Amino acid sequence: MHTVQKIMKVFVTRRIPQEGMKLLSQSGVCKVSLWDSDEPVPREELLKGVAGAHGLLCLLSDKIDTEVLDAAGPNLKVISTLSVGFDHMAMDEIKKRGVRVGYTPDVLTDATAELTVALLLATARRLPEGVQEVKNGGWSTWKPLWLCGYGLSGSTVGVIGLGRIGMAIARRLKPFGVKRLLYSGRAAKSYASEVEGEYVPLDTLVSHSDFVVVSCALTPETQGLCDKAFFSKMKNTAVFINTSRGAVVNQEDLYQALSTGQIACAGLDVTTPEPLPTDHPLLTLKNCVVLPHIGSATYSTRGIMAELSANNLLAGLQGKDMPSELKF
Ligand code: NDP
Ligand code: DGY
| C-beta 83 within 6 A of ligand 2 | yes
Say which residues have a Cβ less than 8 Å from residue 159's Cβ, sequence separation at least 6: 166, 169, 170, 181, 182, 183, 184, 197, 213, 215
The H or E element containing residue 159 is: strand 156-160
Mean of pLDDT over the chain: 97
| C-beta 84 within 6 A of ligand 2 | yes
Query: What's residue 2's pLDDT?
Result: 59
The Cα–Cα gap between 70 and 299 comes to 35
Catalytic residue status for 293: yes
Query: What's residue 4's pLDDT?
Result: 57
Residues 149-193: pLDDT tens digits?
A: 999 999 999 999 999 999 999 999 999 999 999 999 999 999 999
Q: Given ligand 1 and candidates 84, 86, 222, 227, which is best to mutate, with the most ligand atoms within 8 Å of its CB?
A: 84
In this prediction, residues 86-93 reach a mean pLDDT of 98
Residues 228-283: pLDDT tens digits?
A: 999 999 999 999 999 999 999 999 999 999 999 999 999 999 999 999 999 999 99
Query: What's residue 260's pLDDT?
Result: 98
The H or E element containing residue 114 is: helix 109-124
% of the chain with per-residue pLDDT over 90 = 98
Between the CA of 60 and the centroid of ligand 2 the distance, in Å, is 7
The Cα–Cα gap between 318 and 131 comes to 52
Using the predicted structure, report yes or no on whether residue 5 has a pLDDT greater than 70.
no
40 residue type, one letter: P
Nearest to 313 by CA among 13, 4, 3: 13
The rounded Cα 294 to chain-centroid distance in angstroms is 8
In this prediction, residues 104-130 reach a mean pLDDT of 99
Give the pLDDT band of residue 3 (cuts 50, 70, 90): low
Between the CA of 84 and the centroid of ligand 2 the distance, in Å, is 5
Residues 202-233: pLDDT tens digits?
A: 999 999 999 999 999 999 999 999 999 999 99
Between the CA of 86 and the centroid of ligand 2 the distance, in Å, is 9
Instruction: Report in angstroms the alpha-carbon separations of 19 from 78, 240, 241, 309, 312.
Output: 20, 36, 32, 10, 13
Strand partners, 81: 58
Residues 54-64: pLDDT tens digits?
A: 999 999 999 99
Query: What's residue 6's pLDDT?
Result: 77
| C-beta 60 within 6 A of ligand 2 | yes
| C-beta 108 within 6 A of ligand 2 | yes
| C-beta 271 within 6 A of ligand 2 | no
Residue nearest to atom 6 of ligand 2 (CA): 83
% of the chain with per-residue pLDDT over 70 = 98
The Cα–Cα gap between 323 and 229 comes to 41
Residues 230-245: pLDDT tens digits?
A: 999 999 999 999 999 9
Closest ligand to residue 87's CA: 1
Relative to beta strand 288-290, strand 265-268 is: parallel
Using the predicted structure, report yes or no on whether residue 84 has a pLDDT greater than 70.
yes
Using the predicted structure, report yes or no on whether residue 94 has a pLDDT greater than 70.
yes
DSSP summary character for residue 89:
B
Closest ligand to residue 58's CA: 2
